[in-house]
Amino acid sequence: MPLEIVIGNIVEQKTDIIVSSNNNKMIAVGANSLAIFNKIGYKKVLKAIKDYRNLKTTEVAVTSGFDLCQKIIHVVSPIYDESSDSNEKLLLETYNNVLLKAKQLLARSISFPLISVGANKYPRQLALDIAIKAIRNFIKDNDLDVKLVLLPEEKSDEIKYPELHRLINESKVEKVEKRTLKAPGYRLGMMVAGDLAKEDFESFHYEKTDLEDYLDKIEISFSKTVLNLIDEKGYTDSEVYKRANLDRRVFSRLRSLDDYQPAKTTAIALAFGLMLSVAQTDDLLLKAGYSLSRSNTADIIVRYCLNNEIYDIYEVNELLFKYNQKQLGSI
């Protein structure tokens, strides 16, 4: 997956490069970066970076990866200044300098901590938004798998879309209410309906139909359907798989195998890459044997974003991450 946000310890990530967020004395700041120093040993790291203690904010230094990875990129991270208009510019430059250095090192994968939160005082949501902005702009033109590794306390609780938050909370309440109902007829009805409430059927886009109509919908394979949609919309392959947060190799399999069977997250990611409506997404997912449930948190987020034409896969994945759901794309 070109960009994935995870909760975890950065020293446990299996990537070519690990990034350490340092101060101007080249001492790690932030718990994830400190974990790098602790894992390797302070004396070893300090010896490796002793010649880089005059670096300015946003500048980088490269050391051995020791036993953690191929290389460690140390960067002097900016400190948030409420009175300054340069906070975003400095943090964008910090990420860009690291990414460019990773490119020079011919890296295929890299793990970042959330730079400048905590001791450097950047608000968590702002720091995450800037990180995603910098990374997405870079991977648009470069092949690099990027992990943003956050600690649990670095996860922002900011609510971007109150209406989405309401829908998810209502879904949780409905699930609890359903579990309290014991009537066999009700349970069978819910199984047949795919957990759709009665009022949901009124807006469900499929008309009453017979078996032949459904079979017609799956005559063309998932792969062929995607490729046909690309041609119809005048897109290029790279436009679609990059908008879908997909690895180029995954898309190559789709193009070469007519019977390609995607994971559900990959299929949905392609719907965003193709900028489909909810109805078109339902049709595409049917080709792969999937559907969007109205009682599943991830599917509610996907449906909400499609309905509101939020096609930015990174924004969608940020929402999925916020609600502890699997992100879209390929791994």
Q: How far is CA 100 from CA 144, 245, 328, in A?
A: 11, 20, 25
CA distances from 259 to 65, 221, 240, 252, 292 (A): 41, 7, 20, 13, 22
Q: How confident is the model at residue 194 (pLDDT cuts 50, 70, 90)?
A: very low
For the whole model, what pTM was predicted?
0.83
- The average pLDDT across 174-202 equals 48
Q: What average pLDDT does the chain have?
A: 88
Give the range among 113-127, 179-193, 282-296 with minimum mean pLDDT: 179-193
Q: Identify which of 76, 162, 88, 85 has the alpha carbon closest to the alpha carbon of residue 132.
A: 88
- pLDDT at position 215 is 54
Q: Residue 92: its pLDDT value, please? A: 98
**Six token digits for residue 302:** 């996907």
Question: Is-contact 274 287, C-beta < 8 A?
Answer: no
| Separation between Cα atoms, residue 202 and residue 73, nearest integer Å | 55
- Scanning the chain, the segments in alpha helix (DSSP H) are 31-40, 42-48, 87-104, 124-139, 162-179, 184-193, 198-203, 211-217, 222-233, 237-243, 248-256, 264-273, 278-287, 297-307, 313-322
What's the average model confidence in pLDDT over 251-263?
Answer: 92
Mean pLDDT of 264-292: 96
pLDDT at 172: 77
**Does the pLDDT value for residue 308 go beyond 90?**
yes
pLDDT greater than 90 at residue 66: yes
Mean pLDDT of 37-49: 91
More confident of the two residues 92 and 49:
92
| Lowest pLDDT segment from 55-69, 149-163, 256-270, 315-329 | 149-163
* 223/283 Cα distance (integer angstroms): 13
Q: How far apart are CA 38 and CA 318, in angstroms?
A: 30
Q: Measured in whole angstroms, how far is the alpha carbon of residue 18 from the centre of its chain?
A: 18
- pLDDT tens for 319-331 read 999 999 999 996 5
Average pLDDT value for residue range 16-21: 97
Q: In this model, does residue 52 exceed pLDDT 70?
A: yes
pLDDT (0 to 100) of residue 202: 44
**Dist CA 115 CA 310 (whole Å):** 26
CA angle 325, 88, 117 (to 5 degrees): 55
Mean pLDDT of 82-107: 97
Please tell me what DSSP assigns to residue 206: P
Domains, the chain, in order of start with CATH, read 3-154 (3.40.220.10), 205-322 (no CATH)
* Rounded Cα distance, 14 and 68, in Å: 8
